[in-house]
Amino acid sequence: MGKTSIHGGSGPADGAPFDPPERDLEDAALRRRSFLTTALAGTAGAAALIAPSAATAQDAGRSESVRDYGAVGDGEADDTAAIQRAIDRGATDKHPVFFPPGTYRVTESLRVRDEVDLFGSDASFCRILHDLRGASASHRRANHACLRLENEGEPPGPVKNVLVRHLGFGTTEARADLGDEAREQTGIYAKHAFWNVRIRDAIIADFAIGVNLQDCWTARLLYSSIIRAQVHCVRWENATCGELTGNRLDCISGSRVTGRGKDCVYVSYSTSPPQFFETMALGVTNNSMQASEGAGFRGVGLSNMTFTNNFLENTNRRGDAAAILLETAPAPTGPPGPERRGDRHPLMRVVNLTGGFITPGSHGLGPAVKIGDYFVINIQGLDIRGSRLRRGLHLYGRHSQVNVIGTMSRLENYIRSPHRNIIGSVMRVNDA
The boundaries of the domain holding residue 310 are 4-39+231-430
- Distances from the Cα of 341 to the Cα of 268, 269, 277, 382, angstroms: 16, 13, 8, 36
Residues 242-254: b if buried by 16+ CB within 10 A, e if exposed: bbbbbbbbbbbbb
Measure the CA–CA gap between 430 and 432, rounded to whole angstroms: 6
Q: Do 207 and 171 contact (CB within 8 A), yes or no? A: yes
Q: How many domains does the chain have?
A: 1
Count Cβ atoms within 10 A of the Cβ of residue 344 and give its class: 0-12 exposed, 13-18 middle, 19 or more buried.
Answer: exposed
Measure the CA–CA gap between 108 and 106, rounded to whole angstroms: 6
Q: What is the mean pLDDT of residues 261-270?
A: 90
At residue 254, the pLDDT reads 46
Question: pLDDT (tens digit, 9 = 90+) per residue, 228-248?
Answer: 998 999 999 989 899 999 999
Query: Where is average pLDDT lowest: 16-25, 70-79, 216-225, 304-313?
Result: 16-25
Question: pTM for the whole thing?
Answer: 0.84
Measure the CA–CA gap between 341 and 326, rounded to whole angstroms: 22
**Ramachandran angles phi, psi of 72, nearest 5°:** -100, -50
Q: Is residue 357 part of a domain?
A: yes
Q: Is residue 154 part of a domain?
A: no
Closest to 88 measured CA to CA, from 126, 68, 58, 115:
115
Q: Is residue 403 part of a domain?
A: yes
Q: Do 183 and 208 contact (CB within 8 A), yes or no? A: yes
Tell me the pLDDT band of 259, cut-offs 50, 70 and 90. Answer: low
At residue 418, the pLDDT reads 84
At residue 253, the pLDDT reads 59
Q: How many CB atoms are closer than 10 A to CB 58?
A: 9
Cα 306 versus chain centre, distance: 14
Query: Is the model's pLDDT at 6 over the cut of 70?
Result: no
SS3 content of the chain, % helix, strand, coil (to 5): 15, 40, 45
Count Cβ atoms within 10 A of the Cβ of residue 152 and give its class: 0-12 exposed, 13-18 middle, 19 or more buried.
Answer: exposed
Q: Is residue 177 part of a domain?
A: no
Compute the chain's Rg from CA coordinates: 23
